[in-house]
């Protein structure tokens, strides 16, 4: 195989990023303390990564595009002053898991900062982000 410069290279095989065959670009973090506000309704975030979010589907969601506000939790309360707006496309509805997978349309600095902070809290390490 060769690219536009004429340089030849071997095509890389699809490499799973986890033992169970998952090929995601970013690590999915479960049990993060974040809630999503969609149309005035609070929805639990089941897991999140830099590419998208999986939401609890305890309500009818018949939209292709979802606009939400992600709100971090501090203990049992919502920290609404640190909420971040996000927009995404519904890519999958898991009927048996009662979940909706949403891919972020655009990653902003504040959204990535929130995800890195939530991941760091979950893993018990100091947040670190290089820009």
* Domain ranges within the chain, ordered by starting residue: 29-122
pLDDT value at residue 12? 46
pLDDT tens-digit map of 54-87: 999 877 667 789 999 999 998 899 999 999 999 9
Question: Interior CA angle at 129 toward 123 and 131, to 5°?
Answer: 160
pLDDT at 14 over 50: no
pLDDT value at residue 5? 56
Domain 29-122 is of which CATH architecture? Beta Barrel (2.40)
pLDDT value at residue 78? 95
- pTM for the full model? 0.76
pLDDT value at residue 121? 82
């Amino acid at each position: 195989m060769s690219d536009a410069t004429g340089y030849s290279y071997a095509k890389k095989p699809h490499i799973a990023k986890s033992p169970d065959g998952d090929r995601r670009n970013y690590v999915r973090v479960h049990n993060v303390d974040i809630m999503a506000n969609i149309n005035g309704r609070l929805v639990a975030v089941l897991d999140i990564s830099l590419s998208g979010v999986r939401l609890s589907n305890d309500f009818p969601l018949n939209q292709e595009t979802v606009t939400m506000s992600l709100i971090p939790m501090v203990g049992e309360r919502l920290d609404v002053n640190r909420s971040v707006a996000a927009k995404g496309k519904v890519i999958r509805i898991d009927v048996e898991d009662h979940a909706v997978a949403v891919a972020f349309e655009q990653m902003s600095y504040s959204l990535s900062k929130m995800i890195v902070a939530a991941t760091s809290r979950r893993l018990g390490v100091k947040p670190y982000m290089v820009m």
